[in-house]
Amino acid sequence: MANGDLTKTVTDLKNQPGGDLIVYGGATLAAALIAAELIDELHLFVNPTAIGTGLPVFAPGTYQPLRTVAATPFECGITALHYAPKGA
């Protein structure tokens, strides 16, 4: 658990020795990390259920080109998408 400036906190953690950082969170956290260009990989699970509402993962005005690393469909209809920033 961390408090304070998200960009500074994540940048400080990424600069420390050790393994990967994994963040589980909702659309607000994901959008903030994407906008700050702090992601090295992005894993999305797409559930093809139309609910008509929800929060965007990509904040309005945010542009970060991504390349597809993998796409894995499951029998239940959910697809796991794995992206990385282009150039990474």
Tell me, rounded to whole angstroms, the distance of Cα 87 from its chain centroid: 17
Q: What is the pTM of this model?
A: 0.71
Tell me, rounded to whole angstroms, the distance of Cα 17 from its chain centroid: 22
Mean pLDDT of all residues in 17-30:
82
Please write the tens of the pLDDT for every residue from 25-63: 777 788 888 888 888 898 888 887 767 676 677 767 777
**Which residues neighbour 47 within 8 Å (Cβ) at sequence distance 6 or greater?**
77, 78
